[in-house]
Amino acid sequence: MPFHMVEFIEKKRDGGEHSEEELHHFIKGFTEGSIPDYQAAAWAMAVYFRGMTPIETQHLTLEMARSGETLDLHDVAPFIVDKHSSGGVGDKVTLTLGPVVASLGLPVGKMSGRALAHTGGTLDKLESIPGLNVNLTIEQFKELLKSVGLVIAGQTHDLAPADGKLYALRDVTGTVPSVPLIASSIMSKKIAGGADAIVLDVKVGSGAFMKTVPEAKELARLMVDIGAGLDRKMAAFITDMSQPLGNAVGNALEVREAIDALHGGGPSDFREIVVALAGEMLLLAGKAAGRDEARSLIERQLDNGEAWNKFVQFVAAQGGDVEAVENPDLLPAARIQEPLTAPVSGYISMLDALTVGRSELILGGAREKKGEPIDHAVGVVLHKKVGDWVEKGEPLMTIHANSRERFEEAKLFLLGAYEFSDDPPEVPPLIHDLILPEEK
């Protein structure tokens, strides 16, 4: 059957289901440029309103994964486990999870992204370590995966190029928040990246794409089913992003916190997420008999220095300054480090992740548009979180800024992140759910 783009759009507009063949023609034409952006945008809007069936979403995922190069890493590692977060504020999990999993002999080769809007990016965090290079060729990536067992790099243009193009178009046409489009976007990159097992961290709350637990569960279920349908081992956590994860938000500040956790310390909520996600990776890879054993192996590696040793090896291998991670006072630091104090006494009943994330834009630690430079030193360190009691005048957080003007603006803005109550508030659970493939 000849493919007609107008009919393809009309079919989705009227609530129809695309065949595998139609999706193949669409993705091929769009990637090559024979289908113009305006038609692809009209189709994305039709999907936004009409949705896609799970099988359609799986076909779209596979077509996007195959639109460019697909990696096969089995010549350097027998089993590849990947982890992906849907994006949040203070989410430095990869920095600690990567070394701890690799230290147990399970190779971790991760392609990560950059900060965009209010959400942080692993690559930017890593680049606050002087000299560390995240721009690697596929050959270098493979070499480090083999020799170190841990490599974190930027995604190459050749990996799922259809997704890169479609995501950029969705970004400017109001079609990002569509569950099947998000699911296929994330999963196409994971599939093209050669993962055998994938642990997903689907964030929920004001600082996440998914604002409610039912929405997050729908996305998680769809991604788990897509992966399982393509014979990948899958697990997806639904984790809280109503307030930031851990205490540090900001690139170099988050690296310090990740280093604390690699020395067995760090905030308990951050450590808990690392232990849960890393544990699940071990389980999927068959490196632990059960969840309890997996957890205790991860905790052991964090506490006995092995995960830290792997991190140092990784930093050195990617050209980073080892001295700066051994002595984090050498990491970029802001000139102004002053507190935001509590305006009243009371329990903290809200600490809005989105507001904290957006304050990074004011401080210069995040970017509004792709490619903008950022200041790695700035950010905030929280001293109190939801459920804690504060006295009027007590520090709520320390703001790290490099200009007085930005500091004052951020301070005013960040006050809007808080709500206080006289009675202890309900603290949201850190892990809302774990979604696994349905038993066949």
Residues near ligand URA, by CB under 6 A:
86, 167, 176, 181-182, 185-186, 209
At position 413, the amino acid (one-letter code) is F
Which residue, chain included where needed, has tokens 């479609």? 166
Q: From the CB of 167, what's the least distance to ligand URA, in Å?
A: 6
Which SS3 state, helix, strand or coil, does residue 197 take? strand
Q: Which is nearer to ligand URA, 155 or 247 (CB)?
A: 155
Q: From the CB of 322, what's the least distance to ligand URA, in Å?
A: 32
| Beta pairing partners, 421 | 347
Q: Which is nearer to ligand URA, 223 or 297 (CB)?
A: 223
At position 230, the amino acid (one-letter code) is L
Q: How far apart are CA 60 and CA 163, in angstroms?
A: 10
Q: Which is nearer to ligand URA, 61 or 103 (CB)?
A: 61
Q: Which is nearer to ligand URA, 114 or 271 (CB)?
A: 114
Q: How far apart are CA 245 and CA 271, in angstroms?
A: 10
Q: How far apart are CA 74 and CA 142, in angstroms?
A: 10
**Assigned token pair, 415:** 């006050």
Strand pairing category for 248-249 and 379-382: antiparallel
Q: Which is nearer to ligand URA, 186 or 378 (CB)?
A: 186
Q: Which is nearer to ligand URA, 43 or 167 (CB)?
A: 167
Q: How far apart are CA 414 and CA 358, in angstroms?
A: 9
Q: From the CB of 49, what's the least distance to ligand URA, in Å?
A: 17
- Which residues are annotated as catalytic? 84, 163, 170, 185, 189
Closest Cα to residue 379, out of 426, 337, 328?
337
Which residue, chain included where needed, has tokens 């709350």? 205
Q: From the CB of 113, what's the least distance to ligand URA, in Å?
A: 7
Whose CB is nearest to ligand URA? 185
Q: How far apart are CA 99 and CA 116, in angstroms?
A: 25
Q: Report the length, in residues, of the chain.
A: 440
Q: From the CB of 302, what's the least distance to ligand URA, in Å?
A: 28
Q: From the CB of 86, what's the least distance to ligand URA, in Å?
A: 6
Q: How far apart are CA 333 and CA 378, in angstroms?
A: 7
Q: How far apart are CA 48 and CA 12, in angstroms?
A: 10
* 150 Cβ contact partners less than 8 Å away, ≥ 6 residues apart: 98, 99, 102, 107, 108, 109, 144, 310, 313, 314
